[in-house]
Amino acid sequence: MEKYAHAKLNITLEIRGLRPDGYHELDMIFLELKEGDRIIGEKTKEGITLSCSDPSLPCDERNLAYRAAALMRERFGIKEGIRLHIEKRIPSQAGLGGGSSDAACVMNLMNELFCLDADPKELEEMAGALGSDVPFFIRGGCQRAKGRGEILTAIGAFPPCTVLVVKPDVSVSTPWAYRAYDQMEDPAEAGSGCTEAAEKAIRSGDFPALCAAMHNDLEAPVIKEYPEIGRMKEELFRLGADRAMMTGSGSAVFGLFSSAEKAASALAALESSCNAQIFLNEICSDHS
Ligand code: C5P
């Protein structure tokens, strides 16, 4: 069986405070993209075997996809084993949710492969134990995400546009990004209410209002340390993006283009001028 583990973008990331458990209280909008890792899974007699096209990634308990498979076997009492292979396309430490998406994809894949007919709510709850972003990938689509990121509400169709994703040649650690935010002198003011405004704009199909509302609270502290991310964002604006922003804790930035032609020429310009990884993406509209 084969499935795609799609990447995500943060259309907003608003930090509402620090929680007693050390996590941050968030209000965000996630958008699923068509681009993703390819995961192949087949039944075996016993155990979990994981392989990956990227030799730099661990294939044992350190890999979230492996932990997802172990959790599924344990929770559903699966006696048989599973062999999994991940063909990586989503860059790691980019804010595109690659590891989280692989984990959710393994859960959905095993649910089908072993005919478990699991309640999606139960899968989401299990996913939350693996990581804050994993429940989103069980559902996909365009979702408002609160709490640690696990309290989800579907928003519906995203306004039509073309997405260009660029990953500068730096990797950002998520815990580091949140710590850098906490150490800022005057955090949290700029983005206040952006998620509410962006949800309204998506629901009414108002693309200019959506672009105006988009905001990521982690962007300022991360760009301060990694100015190349800021330069890439400026480049996307210069090449005609209606809005450019960092996703998650970075380092990837993305541009939304109302004109597909402008996006295509921006892609061509970037391909000839920089050595960053670039994807021209489609928004996943299979779910709502
Ligand atoms: O949940 P996950 O393991 O994916 O989170 C990775 C890190 O991101 C956490 O260890 C924490 O530093 C930060 N984080 C946070 N608040 C959230 C989600 C993640 O501080 N809501």
CA-to-CA separations, 107 to 11, 133, 262, in angstroms, rounded: 25, 14, 38
CB-defined site of ligand 1, < 6 Å: 23-24, 26, 131-133, 148-149, 174-175, 178
Q: Where are the alpha helices (DSSP H) in 62-191?
A: 64-75, 98-113, 120-130, 134-139, 174-182
**What is the enclosing helix (H) or strand (E) of 159?**
none
Task: Note the maximum CA span of the chain.
Answer: 56
Pairing between β-strand 48-52 and β-strand 81-87 as defined by DSSP bridges: parallel
Q: In what order do the strands lie in the sheet with 162-167?
A: 243-246, 253-257, 162-167, 277-281
pLDDT digit string (tens) for 153-202? 999 899 999 999 999 999 999 999 999 999 987 765 667 899 999 999 99
For residue 80, give the nearest of 119, 113, 108, 33 by alpha carbon.
113
Catalytic, out of 37, 102, 133, 217: 133
pLDDT digit string (tens) for 49-96? 999 999 999 999 999 999 999 999 999 999 999 999 999 999 999 999
Atom nearest to 178 CA in ligand 1: 20
127 contacts 137 by C-beta, under 8 angstroms: yes
43 is catalytic: no
For residue 173, the CA-to-ligand 1 centroid distance in Å is: 10
For residue 175, the CA-to-ligand 1 centroid distance in Å is: 6
- Tell me how far apart the alpha carbons of residues 218 and 50 are, in angstroms, rounded to a whole number: 33
Rounded to two decimals, what is the model's pTM? 0.95
> To which residue do tokens 């990956």 refer?
52
Q: What phi-psi label fits residue 156: left (phi over 0), alpha (psi between -120 and 50 degrees) or beta?
A: left
For residue 26, the CA-to-ligand 1 centroid distance in Å is: 10
pLDDT digit string (tens) for 198-235? 999 999 999 999 999 999 999 999 999 999 999 999 99
91 contacts 2 by C-beta, under 8 angstroms: no
Give the number of other CB atoms < 10 A from CB of residue 204: 11
pLDDT digit string (tens) for 123-164? 999 999 999 999 999 999 999 999 999 999 999 899 999 999
133 is catalytic: yes
- Tell me how far apart the alpha carbons of residues 203 and 215 are, in angstroms, rounded to a whole number: 17
